[in-house]
Structure 1
Amino acid sequence: MSSRLLRTITVFAGMVSVCFAGMVSVCAAALAATGTAILPARFAGWSQSAPAQTISDGANADVLQEYGLKDSSTASYTHGPEKLLLRAWRFDDATGAYGAFTFYRQSRMKSISLGKGGAEGGGHFVFWTGATVIDAAFSAGDAPDRAALQALAAGIRQPFGSAGVAPSLPHYLPATALDASSVRYAIGPVAYAHGGGALPANAVGFAADAEAVTAQYASRDGKGTLTLLMYPTPQIAAEQARTIGTLLKHGGVRGGSVALQEKRSGPLVSITSGDFTQDEARHLLEQVKFADYLTVNRTGSYVSEAAKTAKLLTGIATLTVVLGAAAIFLGIFFGGGRAMIRVLRGKPASTLNDEQFISLKLNEDASAPAGSARPD
């Protein structure tokens, strides 16, 4: 092979590599751009009045770190004369987002249907969906635009797989006499302490991957607190239950001694404290029953069969397009390269007219001298 031909092949391969690398970098940049923007520039008639900025929330940095904060953003929006301030936090998964939602939800807010869960009070909204928490505050005097917030929630990117599954522990809270605005979910000692946990944070066992949820319940004498703890295995739960039982006996838990009761059900440990009577505390604990993991009804993460089928068909179509594009690219690369080499060697680009085959001449007498007649 001549040096000129070798240089041509090298240049052609380099051009193809550069083009392919450029396509990959452009696609990666596009994906990165769509993945980093938490808040949209505009939605449902609202437009940003200034570029979004990162939230400076140093006072709650430790809490947000426990929930797995990835990034945050805040921006002001206008819709005619009306104004809206949005703050958004994005976490590693739905567990962190739900926990942060319970942390930012104020006690006087009433529950509303917004995203996966929302709360509202005096033109101030907090809701979560996917792995994102949104805090929306309308200006004083402006009518809250709930339809716009619904559109905002619908446009937030949802995580895939287990990252999009909401925690199951809050579903074990009995619904009767529950103050929904008081529910606090924690996966670390700092968030648990900020949420007003009745137990000492070091007694919960967060180092053993514990989850904790606390909630207020109405009683005849005031309000009492129910604490639910979930551990990876019943064995760990039994060990922690013994530690907590010792605390209850020695008064190491906030609340009156009458209301301090404890019960374990599988990996669940339940503790009552506060203004419950002994009978009220016992009745509340009896309502907490552990159900097998396979039978827990996670309504927040339910996916219909139609949605599963649509997702499957979309995946098949995407795979078909990718494989087709790869086949075309490889065909152009190998076929075009071979054609270019033939043209540089002075041959036609196509091989249809070539007679490139080896003839063995089996009908000729190999022993006959050249030019002699073949015997009959």
Structure 2
Amino acid sequence: MLRRLLILAVPWASGAATAASMWPEQLWDQRRAAASPIELQDNSVWEEYGLEAAEQAQYPSFRVRGYRLKDPTSALAVFQWLKPAGAPPARIETYSAQSASRTFLLRGNYVLDFDGRHPTDKELEVLYLQLPRFDNSALPTLPKYLPAANRIPGSERYILGPESLAKFFPGVPPSVASFSMSAEAQAGQFQTPAGPVRLAIFSYPTPQIARERLAHFQKLEGAVAKRSGALVAVTLGSPSADESEKLLAKVNQIVTLTWNERTGGSGDNAGVFLLNVFIFIGILIGLGIVSGVAFGLIRVGWRRMTGRSHREEQEAMLTLHLGDK
């Protein structure tokens, strides 16, 4: 038990050590007054999400909080988890929300929370250049499959492992979700005429794995599940099976197949070009040999037809005698 506690303590100690360098001394037109680590709860979920640092800073006219995660997928999970209730979406980032005095946004592997200031696009671009270990790689596409109609605002939760599954979508055992097969899930709640319905969409690397997992989801008590491509959608505890079926019918993954054909154009490599050159040279040499043999055979045939010897042909050779002049 002591060994487990020591292992769990290492990431948080590391995060606290690196947090002091998250916020710059000078941010835009203001100088930092204070900075301190953010006190966190649900440490097991944070560990699963790959939290690297969490720090808040106070500037003269506003306060800001920042969370740096291991990658943008984990940052998306944190954004959905911590997004202020009732804050409408903003246009400043793809994932962002604003209230009267607060701006909450996701960019790369960072989740930022500004209180007392709405930063502009240009100000944020300056800040992104100052953030340490900034990762702006692609975000996951799974959230787009969560139906938008009748979704309860703020109910979205991104699941990356057993801890977040137990917290945000209880009722599905980790052995059924099978995170060892690189599963991820997007969960949400929906309002239906029969009452609220919980829906989670699990994503797997291949349709074959999703097909195998579907049978396990269908065995869960109170679950209604379907597969679409590499996705498995499941509702739990729905007050109406019909409403579950209507909701699941909106989850569809369109699989796009790409067929590549070799055109043989200018993109051929140098090795193929050199091979073609040597083949052409071989053809020329072959033609030379064939024409030489043919010429020799013609001469032999001509001598036999005329009855002249090789010596007579040499004596009959035309001579100019230029040396006599």
TM > 0.5: yes
Q: CA separation in 2, counterparts of 1:163 and 1:114?
A: 16
- Equivalent of residue 45 in structure 1, options 29, 44, 48: 29
Residue in 1 that maps onto 2:226: 263
Alignment of 1:180-259 (within 5 A): 180-247=153-220, 251=221, 257=222
Alignment of 1:60 onto 2:50: no
Quick one: structure 1 residues 198 and 227, their matched pair in 2 at CA, closer, same or farther if it must change by over 3 Å?
Answer: farther
Alignment of 1:93-242 (within 5 A): 93-121=71-99, 123-138=101-116, 145-148=117-120, 151-152=123-124, 155-157=127-129, 164-242=137-215
Residue in 1 that maps onto 2:273: none
4+ residue segments displaced more than 4 Å? 157-163
TM-score calculated relative to the size of structure 2? 0.64
Q: CA separation in 1, counterparts of 2:126 and 2:194?
A: 43
Q: CA separation in 1, counterparts of 2:114 and 2:134?
A: 28
Q: Is the 8 A contact 2:224 2:234 kept in 1?
A: yes
Q: Is the 8 A contact 1:265 1:289 kept in 2?
A: yes
Alignment of 1:72 onto 2:72: no
Quick one: structure 1 residues 202 and 103, their matched pair in 2 at CA, closer, same or farther if it must change by over 3 Å?
Answer: farther
Q: Is the 8 A contact 1:55 1:74 kept in 2?
A: yes
How far 1:210 sits from its partner (Å)?
0.6
Q: CA separation in 1, counterparts of 2:86 and 2:113?
A: 15
Q: CA separation in 1, counterparts of 2:38 and 2:239?
A: 41
TM-score calculated relative to the size of structure 1? 0.56
Alignment of 1:283 onto 2:246: yes
Q: CA separation in 2, counterparts of 1:159 and 1:39?
A: 9
Q: Is the 8 A contact 2:102 2:118 kept in 1?
A: no
Alignment of 1:360-375 (within 5 A): none
How far 1:162 sits from its partner (Å)?
9.1
Deviation track 1:260-317 (CA, whole Å, cap 9, x = no partner) reads: 311011210001234553332212211111123779xxxxxxxxxxxxxxxxxxxxxx
**Partner letter of residue 228 of structure 1?**
I
Quick one: structure 1 residues 147 and 89, their matched pair in 2 at CA, closer, same or farther if it must change by over 3 Å?
Answer: closer
**Partner letter of residue 47 of structure 1?**
R
Deviates more, 1:113-122 or 1:228-237: 113-122
Alignment of 1:296-375 (within 5 A): none
Q: CA separation in 2, counterparts of 1:118 and 1:273?
A: 29
Q: CA separation in 2, counterparts of 1:294 and 1:197?
A: 35
Unpaired runs of 5+ residues, structure 2, are 1-18, 259-325
Deviation track 1:145-202 (CA, whole Å, cap 9, x = no partner) reads: 3235872366314999996110111011112112241110011111222224442344
Q: Is the 8 A contact 2:95 2:105 kept in 1?
A: yes
Give the secondary structure class of the aligned counterpart of 1:170. helix
How far 1:237 sits from its partner (Å)?
1.3
Q: CA separation in 1, counterparts of 2:135 and 2:213?
A: 27
Unpaired runs of 5+ residues, structure 1, are 1-34, 139-144, 252-256, 296-376
Deviates more, 1:62-71 or 1:273-282: 273-282
